[in-house]
């Protein structure tokens, strides 16, 4: 454990490597880590934003991307061979088509969540922080 670096110092080994970064808003960014600071703010170069829907994906080129550290949920190095194998099993669609599919998927999820909330509320559970008839 002699090589352990606490905090953002542990990112030193990731500089100049291709990374996947998942943000709090669920966006997935893939790019080359060029710099970072003590707050884990990141600078990615040749960044693409990848959106997955079912067995398809779409990419939007974003170029240089600066990410505020507090928005990072997950960060990891990409194995080029495994990425190629995984992408080979998916079909790439134009961005407009992926956005439409993603929008439909999110609408269905929203409707399902709304129905679930309604059923839970009918059974006496508090939903989404809306306490009704709370006895405390």
Q: What is the mean pLDDT of residues 57-61?
A: 92
List, as one string, the DSSP characters of the chain: -TT---GGGGGGGGTTSEEEEEETT--EEEEEEEEE-TT--EEEEEEEEEEEETTEEEEEEEEEEEE-GGGEEEEEEPPHHHHHHHHHTSEE--HHHHHHHHHHHHHHHHHHHHHHHHHHHHTT--BTTB-SS---
Local confidence band at 95 (pLDDT 50, 70, 90 cut-offs) = confident
For 73, the domain range is 7-122
In a domain, 48, yes or no: yes
pLDDT over threshold 70, residue 135: no
**pTM given for the model:** 0.75
Alpha carbon distance, N-terminus to C-terminus of the chain: 49
In a domain, 28, yes or no: yes
In a domain, 135, yes or no: no
- Percent over 70 (pLDDT), the chain: 88
In a domain, 127, yes or no: no
Place of tokens 């080979």: 88
In a domain, 54, yes or no: yes
pLDDT tens for each residue of 79-92: 988 888 888 889 89
In a domain, 18, yes or no: yes
How many structural domains are present in the chain? 1
Q: What is the mean pLDDT of residues 40-63?
A: 93
Q: Which residue has the higher pLDDT, 128 or 5?
A: 5
In a domain, 65, yes or no: yes
Listed residue (35, 28, 32) closest to 11, CA to CA: 35
pLDDT at 136: 45
């Amino acid at each position: 454990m002699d090589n352990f670096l606490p905090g953002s110092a542990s990112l030193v080994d990731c500089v100049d490597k291709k990374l996947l970064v998942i943000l709090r808003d669920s966006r997935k960014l893939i790019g080359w880590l060029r710099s970072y600071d003590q707050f884990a703010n990141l600078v990615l170069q040749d960044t693409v934003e990848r959106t997955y829907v079912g067995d398809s994906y779409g990419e939007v080129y974003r170029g240089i991307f600066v990410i505020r550290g507090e928005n990072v949920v997950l960060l990891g190095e990409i194995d080029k061979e495994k990425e190629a194998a995984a992408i080979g099993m998916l079909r790439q669609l134009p961005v407009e088509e992926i956005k439409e599919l993603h929008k439909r998927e999110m609408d269905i999820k929203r409707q399902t969540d709304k129905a679930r909330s309604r059923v839970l509320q009918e059974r006496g559970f508090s939903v989404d922080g809306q306490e009704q008839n709370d006895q405390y």
